[in-house]
Chain A
Amino acid sequence: MEPTDDNAAASLEGLILNGRWKVIKRISPSTGSTGGHFSIRYEVLDTTTNNKAFLKALNFKAFFAMHRGKDPVDVIAEQNSAFKYERDVLQRCMIHNLSKITRLLDQGTATLENFPIPTVPFLILEMADGDIRSTIDFSNTLDFAWKLRSLHNVAVAIKQLHGIGVEHQDLKPSNILIYENGKISKVGDLGSSLCSAIAPLKNPSGRFQGDADYVPIEYLYGHIEPDEIKRGRATDMYLFGNLLSFYFTGFNMTNLIFRNIDRQFRWNNWTGGFSTVKEYLLNGYSKALREFRKEIPNDYLGDELCEMLRYTCFPYPNKRGHPVALNENGNQYDFHRIISRLDLLSKKIELDLLKHGN
């Protein structure tokens, strides 16, 4: 999968793209990572402003390596379509001024002669300081206010996405990018997202599109919610809860549940499907919540976050969502209550810190 010299996507250094973007150097995946291991990333310079930006070049070679034996025409068509989809979603976000989604600055196609595949489609995005993994720690003493503010930003991002008909489907620590020395968090990598307005048939099977390490628990047992919108929203809600759990314990909720169930109920040992295991997962989830709660010494914050984790990561997708929202038609997976709660919590913690400091 590693790009080599015969790979156009790996040979962009020094070029000026779209007459504006000077490609400075290749960067490692985790620097401002937006996932996407089928792309090669560069640091670029906006020659008009001298601001740095981030370039994501489509790496066809990696796809060929991944899908050996598959018709190259099909692979190119598939990947072009995936790339086009990501570009269109980012443009949609840009048009709607989504403030908490990594912004698309430019896009285009570079053509490098003398390469087997000379065209390299690329996207240019705003450059992040890194993803939250480079900043976060899981001690009890770390600034909880920062974590709450970051989670608040993520919740706003999801609400913004849902507002324009996009479900992210791949929320995970490496996709939460930080800007302005950690003051702002934004959500990146929309490659796995779903948007029926752009690609109505993107995921006909309904299977999980994101990183399996952070998968909502029901997918591991083959459960697929039939209603597409409901499925997408319930998935995003669980993934948000997963992040919440990760922020405070270093463990996502799916793993916390697995810590609290017997081996025989784990996804890789169970053959009976979701309907026969769900009560045992629920029992593990209850214990997981208690474990999570123990990790937060501040009682008020602990109770509030535990409650948020409870309704965002409920193992049954149709019972996820704020308890009040469960009875609101079409509003079950709305993030507005999460946003206001996190806003309140972060302000309260900040105030407590100030008081304590004084």
Chain B
Amino acid sequence: MAISYKIEKRRVVPNWRDFKRTVNLNELIISGNDFPKLEFDVSKVAADWNSNKSIGTAADLINGAFISEKFDFKELQEATTFIMQHSEKASNLLLDVAGKINGGIAEDIVTTNISQLEVDSIDEFQAHFESQLAYKILRRTKNRAKSELYNPIIWVELARLYAFFGVKEKAEKAMVVALQLAPDNRYVLRSATRMFIHFEQHEKALFYLRRSPSTKVDPWLISAHIATSSILSRYSPYVKNGIQIIKGGNHTDYDTTELNSSLGTLEYQEGSIKNAKRHQQLAMKAPNDNSLAQLEWLSHQDKAFEFDTNSFKNVPNHFEAFAFNAYDSGKWKDVVDNSINWFLDLPYSKRPILLGSYVASMYLKDYEKAIILCKMGLKANPHDTIILNNIVYSLMSMNKLDEAQPYLDSLTRINLSNLDPDELVPLQATLGLCAFRSGNVQEGEWFYELAIATAQSSNQKEMAEMATLIFFRELINARSHEMIEKYLQRIGSINPGKHLDIKQLKDEAIKLYSEYKANQKTDTKN
């Protein structure tokens, strides 16, 4: 059976996106002390233009207008028209800018998001489906990084691509270069934190955060430190700084959303629901995707926290929170759609893959989609037991035995004694499915019963019920009459309660059984 896992303790670990999308989310804006601004006077270059109209003075005028963002004066319009009329004397750059100013879209020159100017993001999106393109992007980024040894941003991008391909060592090396170039930069530090946590190198994440003086004063970095410390069951020394920052009120609500969310989670874990709620309320004044997902998670832990998707539809990249919320409501298609968007937003992350492939295969029976998702996830996590399990489950459900074989081989190489029951139960059940679909009914029964027993012995009631329901389906498909009757009573005793996932599986099992019985009667009559 396919499976996803629910995080026992979710922390507000920074998400790691490519630079352009991080910029677009306004997560890099620094609220600091302003500095004296220079004054600009376009009248001088305008006078020069008036006394000598040439491509040189026109360019000079455009430079003055562009830097000062003063676009509304007649000389500028004249100069841009002049440039366009003498295009043979202009560079492509000059023509581009003159054209935009002349066309009345001067604001575009300074407001256009850089993502719209470049194709990297679109390429990268396609790269999830086309391996060749993915490698092309990696190669291009690698070459850029080599020629821009001074540029930390490109090294973070390279690390992210390596992480996406699951090349851990190279990803780490690239990130260390970025950290050496920019040890205090928020984007670099948050990306590094996320990467080191992804690679389970929490101490390194803490080391680089602690080393930077920015961590003392930057709410985004304090939050990252609190979250990372919490994973290691430690108390971050920056909690006090965080509380002071929030009390100080010198930062925007958006700047402190993750910090409030982190502090709220900490308070919750320490049993102070009142303080936890207060921080969560502050976090939700201007939430981002991460603080939103945190609230969604908390809402499962304690009724004191309420999560209503309607209030947060405008939060960019709300996919994680919305995916889990849709799961609780049994809106399976929404779960898968949000999981895909979540994955595209954070392509190195395996949680959206697990959730999406699990729901697509188990409840929508959309095995093709589940397989695509798993294949994407395996790029960054080629040895992940659950992703391998989920892809085998989908392929076997479609009776694609040959295609499943390589993944099955990878699974069987796993040392089962090292697995938690969370991973072991679905794996045993999937091996049962493989046996059933290969015609080895007895072996299949043995594996499924083992899975159910494993789940029961580790008090995984829901998992035991799920395995039982899937097993029942396979028994019907295999027409294993005695066993069907043996398990019928157990199926009847399953009480899904609020669990819509179990309910759907039970409903399907009962329907399948009715069809089976009806077929049996028809067979007897004939």
Contact = CB atoms under 8 A, between A and B. Distances in A.
A37 B110 CA distance: 30
A249 B63 contact: no
A131 B19 CA distance: 42
B114 A319 contact: no
Contact of A138 (B51, B94, B110, B150): B94
Pick from A33, A133, A139 the residue with the most CB of B within 10 Å.
A133
B63 A214 contact: yes
Contact of B48 (A174, A268, A277): A174
Contacts of A283: 19, 151, 153-154
B150 A282 contact: yes
A138 B31 contact: no
Contact of B54 (A134, A259, A266, A314): A134
Given A136-B55, A279-B185, A294-B92, A270 B67 contact: no
Interface range, B side: 35 or more
Contact of B89 (A137, A262, A314): A137
Contact of A133 (B35, B54, B97, B150): B54
Contacts of B181: 279
Interface string A204-224: 000110011111000111100
A249 B152 CA distance: 27
B66 A212 contact: no
B52 A276 contact: no
A63 B23 CA distance: 44
B291 to A, nearest CB: 20
Interface in B434-477: none
B56 A282 contact: no
B218 to A, nearest CB: 9
Given A134-B54, A250-B62, A30 B48 contact: yes
Nearest to A173: B60
B93 interface: yes
Interface string A239-267: 00000001011111011101111111011
Pick from A256, A259, A294 the residue with the most CB of B within 10 Å.
A259
A280 B55 contact: no
B29 interface: yes
Contacts of B117: 260
A272 interface: yes
Pick from B29, B33, B93, B151 the residue with the most CB of A within 10 Å.
B93
A135 interface: yes
A260 B32 contact: no
Given A263-B110, A263-B111, A286-B154, A30 B67 contact: no
Nearest to A255: B66
Nearest to A142: B89
Contact of A134 (B19, B23, B41, B52): B52
A251 B67 CA distance: 10
Given A266-B110, A267-B37, A250 B90 contact: yes
A272 B38 contact: no
Given A264-B28, A268-B69, A279-B187, A133 B52 contact: yes
Nearest to A223: B35
Contacts of A130: 52
A28 interface: yes
B141 to A, nearest CB: 12
A271 interface: yes
B93 A272 contact: no
A28 B51 contact: yes
A30 B94 contact: no
Interface string B161-201: 00000000000000000000110111110000000000000
Interface residues of A, number: 68
A140 B93 CA distance: 12
Contact of A212 (B19, B24, B67, B94): B67
B326 to A, nearest CB: 32
Contacts of A142: 89
A138 B188 CA distance: 38
Nearest to A315: B150
Contact of B91 (A248, A254, A260): A248
Contacts of A258: 66-67, 110
Given A37-B44, A139-B90, A212-B67, A264 B151 contact: no
Contacts of B40: 212-213
Pick from A142, A213, A221, A295 the residue with the most CB of B within 10 Å.
A213
Nearest to B52: A30
Contact of A319 (B34, B90, B93, B150): B150
B48 A133 contact: yes
A137 B55 contact: yes
Nearest to B39: A212
Contact of A264 (B29, B45, B47, B184): B29
Contacts of A3: none
Given A222-B35, A272-B32, A133 B63 contact: no
B36 A222 contact: yes
Contacts of A172: 60
A279 B148 CA distance: 12
B94 A250 contact: yes
A46 interface: no
Given A133-B54, A139-B90, A262-B114, A272 B153 contact: no
A206 to B, nearest CB: 12
Interface string A141-176: 010000000000000000000000000000011100
Contacts of A250: 55, 59, 62-63, 90-91, 93-94
A343 interface: no
Interface string A76-116: 00000000000000000000000000000000000000000
Interface in B278-321: none
B33 A271 contact: yes
A350 interface: no
A249 B93 contact: yes
A139 B90 CA distance: 5
A271 B32 contact: yes
A287 B452 CA distance: 58
Contacts of B64: 213
B56 A136 contact: yes
Contacts of B41: 212
B395 to A, nearest CB: 43
A111 B363 CA distance: 98
A292 to B, nearest CB: 8
B57 interface: yes
Contacts of B69: 266, 268
A69 B316 CA distance: 52
Contacts of B38: 208, 212, 215, 219-220, 267
A138 B47 CA distance: 22
Given A30-B51, A138-B55, A246-B63, A282 B151 contact: yes
A28 B49 CA distance: 11
Pick from B24, B97, B113, B114 the residue with the most CB of A within 10 Å.
B114
A72 interface: no
A221 B32 CA distance: 12
Given A264-B26, A279-B182, A173 B67 contact: no
30 contacts: A28-B51, A29-B47, A29-B48, A134-B54, A137-B56, A172-B60, A212-B39, A212-B40, A213-B63, A214-B63, A222-B35, A222-B36, A248-B91, A250-B90, A250-B93, A250-B94, A251-B59, A259-B97, A260-B117, A262-B24, A262-B113, A264-B28, A270-B30, A276-B185, A282-B150, A282-B151, A283-B19, A283-B153, A291-B93, A314-B150
Given A212-B38, A272-B29, A283-B19, 5 more contacts: A137-B89, A250-B62, A252-B63, A273-B32, A280-B28
> Which 10 residue pairs across A and B have the least CB separation, nearest first?
A222-B35, A133-B56, A272-B30, A250-B59, A137-B89, A272-B32, A250-B94, A28-B51, A138-B91, A283-B153
Interface of A: 28-31, 33, 37, 130-140, 142, 172-174, 207-208, 211-215, 219-222, 246, 248-252, 254-256, 258-264, 266-268, 270-273, 275-277, 279-280, 282-283, 286, 291, 294-295, 314, 319
